[in-house]
Amino acid sequence: MAFYDGLFEKLGLREWCGTGKSDAPLSMSDLLNQSSGADAANSGPVFPFPSLDNLNESCANLSQTRDVTKGIEDGFLAAKPALKTVLDPITQPLSWLLDSALYTFSAVPWFIMIPILLAISWFSSKSKGVTAFVAISILLLAFVDHYDVAMQTLSIIFVCTGISVLLGVPVGIAMSKSDRLERAVVPVLDLLQTLPTFVYLIPLIFLFSVTESKLYGVAIILYAIVPVIRLTNLGIRLVDKDVIEAANAFGMSSKQKLIGVQLPLALPNIMAGINQTIMMSLAMVVIASLVSAPGLGVNVLRGIRNLELGVGIVAGIGIVLLAVILDRVSKAALSRVDMTHKTH
């Protein structure tokens, strides 16, 4: 006898409860219980919580938890054709960009690519120490035959970070101009920031083919875009009101105030957001290796799957070096922006 039989008897629902049958697939725990002959009613707690599964034991017409999960899956699969019709044309350029970047970074010889990367580092940081560190780190990766996979990871970060900035800065500007829009967007940003990284991949696997680059590209962008949106919005809102009033006194239009006053003053915050976006892109690239993202994350995954300790550790060190490179270069660029801001 199930625990809640008496409850349904007292409520007069015994006839209604009947003997319903679920068409949802059995969960793993149900299959294990069936195979072992376990009696859920006798092995459960003295006073079980009235969950769907526990109530279903006494009233078969009530849904089980597996019915709920099957309903969510069926609903998603029913909406999949419409979602693909809308999302495929929008996201296809992302696949082209990622594939082109991967090809370019792989096809350009090392003796050309490394000087280009060092030139970018120098232009961004104007620091001999940072540029020397970038050179040493890349050469170390090349000496252990991890140059190619490191370039693959770097190409994905460049594309996804660039798109995150191009999309995130305008959204942050729009949020700074409208309190209503900010109230609407902040819960979405909270959701994207708190959602576990693996959860991003679940719906995308159903929407896109594993062979499509946009699968991991969309996941990386969704995960990494949050900081640049938040800090762009914050930076513009923190611009001194007296400065805005002075701009108004000079008769500047909204566009002139934005370009000539607010964005330059908010640039340190925006650069800090870009730094965080770069770091989060790198973190997600490793997770995205589970869904065919190339690069150093594949070697980490290989080390875990095959218990190859050395392979996993070397790839992990490579990821750390890339993270430090990107962090040092972006922070040096941020320091330059701060110095320029203070001198003006």
State how far the Cα of 263 lies from the Cα of 261, in Å rounded to an integer: 6
> If you ran DSSP here, which 8-state letter would residue 277 be given?
H
Q: Are 201 and 291 in contact (CB under 8 A)?
A: yes
The domain spans of the chain are 5-63, 79-343
pLDDT at 31: 61
Q: φ and ψ at 37, to 5 degrees?
A: 70, 25
Q: φ and ψ at 196, to 5 degrees?
A: -60, 145
The dihedral built from the CA positions of residue 231, 232, 235 and 238, taken in this order, carries a sign that is negative
pLDDT at 93: 93
pLDDT at 335: 79
Encode the chain (344 residues) as per-residue pLDDT tens digits.
Answer: 577 778 877 887 777 787 655 666 666 566 656 666 555 444 556 778 888 888 888 788 888 888 888 888 899 889 999 998 999 999 999 999 999 999 999 999 999 999 999 999 999 888 899 999 999 999 999 999 999 999 999 999 999 999 999 999 999 999 999 999 999 999 999 999 888 888 878 888 888 888 889 999 999 999 999 999 999 999 999 998 898 889 888 888 888 899 888 998 898 899 889 999 999 998 888 888 888 889 999 999 889 888 889 999 999 999 999 999 998 988 888 777 766 666 65
Contacts of 118 (CB under 8 A, 6+ apart): 131, 134, 135
Cα 263 to chain centroid, rounded: 26
Contacts of 175 (CB under 8 A, 6+ apart): 181, 182, 185, 229, 232, 233
Q: Are 66 and 25 in contact (CB under 8 A)?
A: yes
State how far the Cα of 297 lies from the Cα of 149, in Å rounded to an integer: 9
64-to-16, 24, 53, 58, 69 alpha-carbon distances in Å: 16, 9, 5, 12, 9
pLDDT at 62: 82
State how far the Cα of 296 lies from the Cα of 141, in Å rounded to an integer: 11
Question: 278, 178, 262: which is closest to 227 by C-alpha?
Answer: 278
State how far the Cα of 156 lies from the Cα of 322, in Å rounded to an integer: 12
Q: CA-based Rg of the chain, rounded to a whole angstrom? A: 27
Pick the CATH number of 79-343 from 3.40.630.10, 1.10.3720.10, 3.40.50.300, 3.30.565.10: 1.10.3720.10
State how far the Cα of 331 lies from the Cα of 234, in Å rounded to an integer: 19
SS3 content of the chain, % helix, strand, coil (to 5): 80, 0, 20
Residue type, 203: P
Tokens 């970047």 correspond to 101
Helix residue ranges, H only, 108-212? 110-125, 128-143, 147-177, 179-194, 197-207
330-to-116, 131, 274, 335, 342 alpha-carbon distances in Å: 16, 12, 8, 9, 18
